[in-house]
Homo-oligomer: A and B are copies of this chain.
Amino acid sequence: MVNFTQITVKDIAKEVKDNCLLGIPADYSGVPMSVTIEIIKNKTKGLRLYCLPLTTIQGDMLIGSGCVNEIETAAVTLGEYGQAPRFQDAIENSKINIKDSTCPALHAQLQATEKSVPFMPLRGILGSDLYKNRNDWVVIDNPMNNSNTNDEKIVILPAVKLDILIFHASKADINGNVQIGRRRELATLAHASKKVYVTVEEIVDEDFFDSELKAAATLPSLYIDGISLAKNGAWPCGLTDYYDIDTNEMSKYAKAAKYQETFDEYMRDFILQNNYSNI
């Protein structure tokens, strides 16, 4: 029926090797929760998370489950459900390393890789303690004469290439193209990743490139290494046009994650009664 080899959520989780640099989409970009559970079940270790630009429950769960060694992010939060407790605990007790960043820097570092240039300049940042704690960021004198700011100092950020990106999306077509809509940060993430895996709600019997409108909303298959069907694959996070965030489950998680013991208990249940099909 489809012109590509469909894989499973478990197959995708197996591609997430210990110590790899894993791309993490924001809560609005399609959080691959079904794969996250499998990664946790695999007891994957030493992950380095690169968030574009933040993470919510996905990052907090991975951290609480001991899968994470380092995180580069502009924020970890449960949004309306409060702070991210396992993240807080991990930082306050030095269990993981953190590269504190700011949203546009996380974008720019991937855009550098997208263009295969070694660095990107970015304004702002100077005077922030973020800069003091990043030895991979460099300040230079603006070498251009086109600035109105005399003797301008500007930060340059290194290109970052991800080992692997996983995200959840609404639809794939029969040729393995994926609909991302306005979530164009997923294109930047994919362009900057060595491997890209996607879970989708459905695979539809058409080619998105047959319509100019649909083509415009598509991440082409040429950037994608594998696709798995995963109904409710973002749950308890939401997915545009499919389902809203599950407020009950999020409240339940936020409460449980306050302590490691109650988190562990929650995770045991969560893994057992998970809501995803097509694993």
Contacts and interface: CB of A to CB of B under 8 A. Distances in A.
Contacts of A214: 213
A182 B119 contact: no
A128 interface: no
A234 to B, nearest CB: 15
A186 to B, nearest CB: 11
B140 A118 contact: no
A240 B212 contact: yes
B118 A152 contact: yes
Contacts of A147: 118
Contact of A217 (B108, B217, B241): B217
Contacts of A271: none
Among A115, A144, A146, max chain B CB count under 10 A is at A144
Contact of A118 (B142, B158, B213): B142
A103 interface: no
A215 interface: yes
A127 interface: no
> What is the predominant secondary structure among interface residues of chain A facing chain B?
loop
Interface string A205-245: 00000001111110000000000000000000000110000
A182 B104 CA distance: 24
B143 A156 contact: yes
A147 to B, nearest CB: 5
A36 B154 CA distance: 40
A144 B139 CA distance: 10
Contact of A143 (B108, B115, B119, B217): B119
Nearest to A209: B182
A177 to B, nearest CB: 13
A47 to B, nearest CB: 21
Given A138-B144, A144-B156, A159-B146, A215 B182 contact: yes
A24 to B, nearest CB: 21
Contacts of A122: 115, 117
A152 B117 CA distance: 11
Q: Give 8 nearest A-B pairs by CB, closest first.
A: A216-B217, A117-B121, A118-B144, A118-B147, A181-B216, A181-B212, A146-B158, A119-B144
Interface string A114-134: 011111111100000000000
Given A138-B143, A215-B181, A216-B181, A121 B118 contact: yes
Given A182-B216, A217-B217, A144 B158 contact: yes
Contact of A119 (B121, B213, B216, B240): B121
